Structure 1
Amino acid sequence: MPIVPPSVTTAAGRPESVNGDWLIRGRDGRLSAYDAVGDGIVCRAESRPGGPWLAPRRIGGDQRVHPMLGVGQGADEYAHLATWRPTVKGESGLVHTTHFRPALAALDWTPLGHPNQKGDRTGVPAVAVDAEGRAHVFVRNAVGGVSMRGQKERGGWGPWRDLKGEDVEERLTAVTRASGRVELYGNSPHGILRWTQGGPGWIPELDASPLKVTARQGSLRALVTSDEHVTLFYTDETDTVCAWRPGGEPVELLPGAGPGPVSVIRCTLDEVDCTLLAQRSASGRVAFAAYPTEQESAGAWWTESGPQLPLDARVSLTEDASGRVVAATVIPGGGELRVARRKREAGLALEAWGVV
């Protein structure tokens, strides 16, 4: 009988249900925020770029799904979503939809099946989209490895692929390099595992040796930081946020601000290419830290903003249509969404946080 791995949990003990950047800017410039609520996935979107937010809308029709979600976005700025739906008693299957624009309805859920043919949920899916706009859905399988199913070039989906791996934790992180090739990272007791594509449309292959570090469960975040590099951020066993680029050694960046996962984007601050991190701090507020991209030796330090939040509050970052940094927090399961934009002045000061 397949073994269902334990869920990744937040500091508050609730399952961590959303994987990927859940606050994104769509093709029409509007921001949207995705969440798993009850037996559905919902989207909250701006009525216009920078304007008021619309009421939450259910994604993918009336089909019931489980409260977990993987989010990915391609260069065309379409959102790709993957989740699990119940099938028969005690079993589930993965489904996918594409959301072309925040103000439009998403396509209905398309069934992808189960990486082990049948069984219950095995992990929160991760989604990446290649240069050709093809979604790749990754998930831990029932034997502790990783499986993937990808869209074909001419439509439809290819078969489930076994990407190997051993004792992989259920929460993966996927990213698309500047070249358009997809990469995947996973955590395990043996270290951090990395899968890479050898070329467009190729099946990602597992590196021969893991990165021999101990990372906190659910702490991996991958970010494209140049045309050549992806930087992986993780929190180690001493609660230090570390940065690693394959081919080099990990760098200790700064102490973690709090117990939750870190959100990270690349942006321009005062005409400098910067990497910006955000995390719910131990005090309950959102902490921000920035440094020149790929220059970890320059140092970084946390600055807190906003009201106190519950332990399980999620944080996400993006840039709006005018290039301003936007931060959002949400209480999982359809709770209060708060949004703040960077002020039009030097530094990283934010406007007042507004409740959507």
Structure 2
Amino acid sequence: MIRGKGSDRTASSARGAQGAPKGGPGPHGSSPPVGNWLFAGGDGRLTAYACTPRGLLRWTEAAAPRTGWTGPEPFEVEGWVGPASMARSREGYVHFVALRSRDADSGSPEVIVSTQFQPGRGMMDWRGLETPGLRGGPDDDSLSGPPRIAVNQRSGSTHVLVSLRHSGILRRSRNAEGAWGGWKPVSGQPYRGDVTPLMPSGGTLEVLAPGQGHADRWTGMGQGRFGLADRIPTPVVPGSAAVCETGPRRATYFWRYPGDGSLVAWRAPRQGVQGGLMGLGGAGGRGAPGVARAVLGGYDCTVLAQIGADGDVEVTAYVTENEGYGTWWASLGGHGARAPQVAVDAAGRVVVAAFDEEGAPMCTRQDTAAGGLAFGPWEYLA
């Protein structure tokens, strides 16, 4: 494993998958979705998504015994505004939320949702949820960040969240039977930027919202009400937050500290569990990290991938919820990439994916025969 004190990029057991692949496909005009865009389906196959000016692109791992990927498959949406954000259920369903224009003249946006139930299969028709307070005029309320979506891992219910510049954070939820409720407040306090939601298994819906010089965590209090659970006295680099469920009813958040661009982790302190603000090194990096849990050497580990100070994809891993032992970052090459993701494939291998400079997705897989957290070469998805 990559494990140890400090943030020395050279001290690691990882073999870097150096360099981006050569002679790959040309640009697809695609861009990364907001948050996660690489998911394992119910059959273990991975699916990757990208946003285009007209909708989504999808790449799907081929079914055994074939290898490689199929795609890109386009899914165009009339009036598409984008970008999309996504979340996965425990069954491997992928839920989507995005924006489309309801009026070709005004461009007034509407929140829309869809679902993919199986890898490689079609998506459900997009359903419009409207959005209160959005009128498109200069004096009207407007989104301060992209819409986000979270899934209840036990019941399968979904929660769509929007952050408005004047009205605060709102949510609209669909229950396990498929019925949607109305828009309800999470926070009357407005936030200027993206919010990061998660609903840990057995827990309540919670949302991290960066403020001016601090970050707020709002949690469900029962009967549809939310309360401010924590005000974390640290600034957050905009667009750098990510979240991972790291224990029973526990979420760990990750973001960049603006002083040096390093990553930090934060978890609500609980008895017997390390919590609070914890440094993870990776100074000089940019953007949000990719994060997933994987079994490495028989241990439940958290694996992070980031774009480092030199522009390469870097990876680190540590025993889950043991950030205090320190992290070592190792380069995987892929210079110029962006929006890294981490997932685990059907064979239990860690997969790190990213978009290259031209918007084409590529990935590198753990080489389990080499021992430790070693990776093979970068390959384009198609």
Scaled by the length of structure 1, what TM-score is found?
0.88
Counterpart selection for 2:199 from 143, 154, 176: 176
Q: Which contiguous aligned blocks of 4+ residues in structure 1 show a shift greater than 4 angstroms?
A: none
AA aligned opposite 1:158: G
Unaligned runs of 5+ in 1: 1-15
AA aligned opposite 1:149: R
Matched, 1:282 2:299: no
Relative to structure 1, the CA distance from residue 147 to residue 183 in structure 2 (aligned partners, 3 Å threshold; closer, same or farther) is: same
AA aligned opposite 2:199: T
Relative to structure 1, the CA distance from residue 45 to residue 180 in structure 2 (aligned partners, 3 Å threshold; closer, same or farther) is: farther
Q: Name the counterpart of 2:209.
A: 186
Relative to structure 1, the CA distance from residue 165 to residue 290 in structure 2 (aligned partners, 3 Å threshold; closer, same or farther) is: farther
Q: Name the counterpart of 1:8.
A: none
State the alpha-carbon separation in 2 of the partners of residues 204 and 355 from structure 1.
45
**Greater CA radius of gyration, 1 or 2?**
2
* Mapping 1:310-349, distance limit 5 Å: 310=337, 313-331=338-356, 335-345=359-369, 346-349=371-374
What is the Cα deviation at residue 172 of structure 1?
Answer: 1.3
Q: Name the counterpart of 1:298.
A: 325
Q: Name the counterpart of 1:9.
A: none
Q: Name the counterpart of 2:107.
A: 90
State the alpha-carbon separation in 1 of the partners of residues 326 and 109 from structure 2.
45
Aligned to 1:83, the other structure's residue is in SS state strand
Q: Name the counterpart of 2:130.
A: 113
State the alpha-carbon separation in 2 of the partners of residues 109 and 290 from structure 1.
37
Relative to structure 1, the CA distance from residue 65 to residue 204 in structure 2 (aligned partners, 3 Å threshold; closer, same or farther) is: farther
Contact 1:32-1:102 at 8 Å conserved across structures: yes
Counterpart selection for 1:126 from 148, 166, 183: 148
State the alpha-carbon separation in 2 of the partners of residues 46 and 241 from structure 1.
31
Counterpart selection for 2:45 from 21, 30, 36: 30
Matched, 1:52 2:74: no
AA aligned opposite 2:102: T
State the alpha-carbon separation in 1 of the partners of residues 165 and 284 from structure 2.
34
Relative to structure 1, the CA distance from residue 331 to residue 63 in structure 2 (aligned partners, 3 Å threshold; closer, same or farther) is: farther
What is the Cα deviation at residue 191 of structure 1?
Answer: 1.6
Residue by residue over 1:254-301, the C-alpha shift from the partner in whole angstroms, topping out at 9 and shown as x without a partner, is: 133512221111111111111111111222211001111111121101
What is the Cα deviation at residue 189 of structure 1?
Answer: 0.6
Matched, 1:272 2:289: no
Relative to structure 1, the CA distance from residue 76 to residue 90 in structure 2 (aligned partners, 3 Å threshold; closer, same or farther) is: same
Residue by residue over 1:195-247, the C-alpha shift from the partner in whole angstroms, topping out at 9 and shown as x without a partner, is: 22245xx5361315521111111122111111142111121122221111113
Scaled by the length of structure 2, what TM-score is found?
0.82
Unaligned runs of 5+ in 2: 1-30, 137-141, 270-274
Relative to structure 1, the CA distance from residue 29 to residue 216 in structure 2 (aligned partners, 3 Å threshold; closer, same or farther) is: same
Q: Name the counterpart of 2:248.
A: 227
Counterpart selection for 1:39 from 54, 63, 84: 54
* Mapping 1:189-268, distance limit 5 Å: 189=212, 191-198=214-221, 202-203=223-224, 205-207=226-228, 209-238=230-259, 239-247=261-269, 248-256=275-283, 258-268=285-295
Relative to structure 1, the CA distance from residue 122 to residue 298 in structure 2 (aligned partners, 3 Å threshold; closer, same or farther) is: closer
Counterpart selection for 2:175 from 131, 152, 157: 152
AA aligned opposite 2:204: R
Residue by residue over 1:298-341, the C-alpha shift from the partner in whole angstroms, topping out at 9 and shown as x without a partner, is: 1101100133125xx21111101121111111148x82111111
Relative to structure 1, the CA distance from residue 307 to residue 142 in structure 2 (aligned partners, 3 Å threshold; closer, same or farther) is: closer
Residue by residue over 1:37-62, the C-alpha shift from the partner in whole angstroms, topping out at 9 and shown as x without a partner, is: 11212211112267221122233x64
State the alpha-carbon separation in 1 of the partners of residues 284 and 45 from structure 2.
30
Aligned to 2:324, the other structure's residue is in SS state helix
State the alpha-carbon separation in 2 of the partners of residues 151 and 262 from structure 1.
29
State the alpha-carbon separation in 1 of the partners of residues 44 and 80 from structure 2.
28
AA aligned opposite 1:38: P
AA aligned opposite 1:127: I
State the alpha-carbon separation in 2 of the partners of residues 203 and 17 from structure 1.
32
Measured on the aligned residues, the alpha-carbon RMSD in Å equals 2.2
Contact 2:205-2:220 at 8 Å conserved across structures: yes
What is the Cα deviation at residue 93 of structure 1?
Answer: 0.4
Relative to structure 1, the CA distance from residue 165 to residue 243 in structure 2 (aligned partners, 3 Å threshold; closer, same or farther) is: farther
AA aligned opposite 2:123: A
Higher relative contact order (CA 8 A, sep 6+): 2
Contact 2:214-2:233 at 8 Å conserved across structures: yes
What is the Cα deviation at residue 98 of structure 1?
Answer: 0.5
State the alpha-carbon separation in 2 of the partners of residues 231 and 245 from structure 1.
5
